[in-house]
Amino acid sequence: MRKFTSEISEEDFGKKVTLYGWIHEVRDLGGLVFVVLRDREGFAQITLPKKKVKQEVFERAKNVRRESVVKVVGEVKKEERAPNGFEIIPEEFEVLNEADAPLPLDVTEKVPAELDTRLDHRFLDLRKHRVFAIFRVRSEVLNATREFFHERGFIEVNTPKIVSTATEGGTELFPITYFEREAFLNQSPQLYKQTLMAAGFDRVFEIGPIFRAEEHNTVRHLNEATSIDIEVSFTDHNGVMKYLEELIVYIHERVVENCEKYLNWLNVKLEVPEKPFERITYDEALEIVSRKEEIPWGEDFSTPALKVLAEHMQGYYFITDWPTESKPFYAMPYENRKEICKSFDLMKGWLELASGAQRIHKYDLLVERIKAQGLDPESFGFYLEAFRYGMPPHAGWGLGVERLLMAMLDLKNIREAVLFPRDRQRLVP
């Protein structure tokens, strides 16, 4: 029976097992050859004493190229000096597919490679356990997210990614040819999430791609990313902020519980954050930042400004009560202070992870805000119709999966959190 290397235990000592994997390293000591086999879960030492194994098995192992795919059948023996405390004495050593040489990338990482080189040969880069571990953690994050929302009565939905109207206005859109007319790749499921509140879905979530035609070339921006979005009826911004901090804690608990090995491969000690997260208003943040950085009121904080703020804030925290003019048209202004809206950003250090708000649910006010931002209400026909026939109060947010992984795993570049990243320069692989 086939086993992963991590599944071999003391119970297998003296028994025969079958392993499949890649050749990580070969050490030829003359009459003794050591082969390190790597699969997705770990390593196994294949020991070949020349006098104790078949001649063809010995020669095949001795001459196999690194990163070739092999099948090994052999007896498990206790060996404290070997990885995981065991070795395999092979009866069979079959090369299923031999790798070319030289390799474009050193999977052992004895020879380091720049990120661009790694991404150019991503399939090889992903063979590294340190890199692979990121995506095991990512998988756990997404599984935990779904469980969290299903436990709380949310409905998972899937909204269109080809749209006729900009979600939030502006020009950060990828146009595409849609038969005889122009369409766009969606920036966000925002308009559809709100429409579902009018449909009576009450609580929804979606995990899906978003597309932003931003001409950024930074360590935290992508042009195709994955977003976790929610929308909830009969609540305000405080209600959905509570869901957000509870989700972040839940995800951390799950990853700590189920991904210990992968966190070790990443050399990350992940701690579960305490809730409630600290909250700071935009005005308070502006006061802190303004001691070092000059920022006009009503504008987003620059990266240097956010790094100044991060010196004063620990862990995850919210920036609340943003200027209405700095947020999308659907953010609900305070009744007694129209220039401020019921919006928030979730931060970790200087990194923005999520953004949300209570939404405007009154038709006339929504049309007024659309016009105030220089947009044409007629472009939002299907969306606005939903507000004329019984739209409940509601709120929601969007959380970037890649940004969250950056924060959790202390990644230096967001591209490391994506299998095949899309940015301003990269369209392949």
Residues annotated within the binding site for ATP are 212-214, 220-222, 352, 400-403
DSSP label of 272: P
Which residue among 40, 121, 146, 221 is the active-site one? 221
Compute the distance between CA of residue 196 and CA of residue 28 in angstroms, rounded to an integer. 65
Which residue among 212, 254, 369, 415 is the active-site one? 212
Q: CB under 8 Å to 380, separation ≥6 — which residues?
A: 165, 191, 370
Q: Is 302 a catalytic residue?
A: no
Question: Nearest CA to 228 among 354, 357, 416?
Answer: 354
Q: Is 152 a catalytic residue?
A: no
Which residue among 59, 79, 172, 214 is the active-site one? 214
Q: Which residues are annotated as a binding site for L-aspartate?
A: 168, 212, 355, 359
Helices 401-409 and 129-151 pack at an angle, to 10 degrees, of 120
Q: Is 352 a catalytic residue?
A: yes
Which residue among 220, 279, 422, 424 is the active-site one? 220
Query: Residue 252 CA to chain centroid, in angstroms?
Result: 13
Question: Nearest CA to 321 among 216, 236, 233?
Answer: 236
Torsion of CA 194, 355, 220, 419, to 10 degrees: -40
Compute the distance between CA of residue 164 and CA of residue 174 in angstroms, rounded to an integer. 11
Compute the distance between CA of residue 219 and CA of residue 406 in angstroms, rounded to an integer. 10
Where do runs of H (alpha helix) occur along 45-128?
55-63, 115-120, 122-125
Alpha-carbon distance values, 371 to 322, 365, 366 (Å):
20, 10, 9
Q: Is 60 a catalytic residue?
A: no
Question: Nearest CA to 88 among 102, 74, 109?
Answer: 74
Which residue among 352, 369, 415, 416 is the active-site one? 352
3-class DSSP state for residue 31? Answer: coil
Q: Is 394 a catalytic residue?
A: no
| Amino acid in position 333 | P
Burial category of 241 from C-beta neighbours within 10 Å (exposed 0-12, middle 13-18, buried 19 and up): buried
CB 317 within 8 A of CB 280: yes
Helices 237-258 and 129-151 pack at an angle, to 10 degrees, of 130
Q: Is 212 a catalytic residue?
A: yes
Q: Is 216 a catalytic residue?
A: no
Compute the distance between CA of residue 405 and CA of residue 427 in angstroms, rounded to an integer. 22
Q: Which residues are annotated as a binding site?
A: 168, 212-214, 220-222, 352, 355, 359, 400-403
DSSP labels, 307-339: HHHHTT--SEEEEE--BGGGS-TTBPEETTEEE
Q: Which residues are annotated as a binding site for Mg(2+)?
A: 352, 355
Which residue among 188, 227, 233, 355 is the active-site one? 355
Q: Which residues are catalytic?
A: 212, 214, 220-221, 352, 355, 403
